[in-house]
């Protein structure tokens, strides 16, 4: 992670122990976030070697990588990073919900890329719990953004129930 970024996990500033490693660089001891292609190629060996793995789903030119491809590796994945190449590319919101709600992933889901103030609350509602944000973002500002809307009409991946349901009981 470049120095201009900071990591907020579950509402607290966290040091980043995970490193993005490209497909050519051999994996060292440090926990690594690798590409989907490398996970598919080397995943079985890495798991056999007892490594905890992280993977990044890239946004791609046209459609982005398919979260369903992670299925065989879910038990050994600690981190899934989802790339948001620009704020207006919101495909990752669906990726995160599928990962949490349909695939039952309980590890860290990290938003990387263009991850701005006005997206954090919605990302969090979709199951993203780790945010790679600009270094000058204060934790206070982050938490303020998280509270901008006090309720939601609809259910999502977070525990809050939609207003359409909360009105009754």
User: Which residue among 32, 39, 51, 93 contacts another protein (CB under 8 A)?
Assistant: 93
Residue-wise DSSP of 80-105 = EEEEESSTT--HHHHHHHIIIIIS--
Residue from the set 62, 75, 104, 159 that interacts with another protein by CB under 8 A: 62
**CB neighbour list of residue 147: distance below 8 Å, 6 or more residues apart:** 121
Does residue number 125 form part of the binding site for another protein (CB under 8 A)?
Answer: yes
Q: Where are the alpha helices (DSSP H) in the chain?
A: 36-48, 91-97, 120-125, 139-146, 163-166
Strand partners, 53: 77
Q: Note whether 116 binds another protein by CB under 8 A.
A: yes
Residues 1-40, one symbol each (x = binds another protein by CB under 8 A, - = not), give ----------------------------------------
Q: Which residues pair with 82 in a beta bridge?
A: 57, 111
* 91 touches another protein (CB under 8 A): yes
Q: Which residues bind another protein (CB under 8 A)?
A: 61-63, 87-91, 93-95, 97-98, 101-102, 116, 118-119, 121-123, 125-126, 148-156, 162-168
């Amino acid at each position: 992670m470049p120095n201009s970024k900071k990591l907020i996990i579950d509402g607290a500033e966290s040091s980043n122990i995970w490193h993005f490693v490209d497909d050519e660089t051999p994996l060292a001891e440090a926990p690594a976030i690798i590409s989907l292609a490398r996970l598919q190629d080397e995943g079985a060996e890495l798991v056999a070697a007892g490594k905890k793995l992280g993977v990044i789903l890239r946004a791609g030119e046209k459609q982005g990588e398919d979260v369903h491809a992670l299925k065989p590796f879910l038990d050994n994945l600690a981190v899934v990073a989802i790339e948001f190449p620009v704020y207006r590319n919101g495909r990752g919101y669906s990726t995160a919900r599928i990962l949490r709600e349909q695939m039952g992933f309980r590890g860290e889901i990290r938003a990387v890329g263009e991850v701005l103030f006005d997206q954090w609350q919605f990302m969090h509602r979709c199951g993203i719990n780790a945010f790679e944000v600009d270094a000058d973002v204060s934790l206070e500002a982050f938490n303020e953004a998280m509270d901008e809307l006090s309720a939601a009409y609809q259910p999502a991946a977070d525990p809050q129930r939609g207003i359409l349901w909360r009105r009754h009981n």
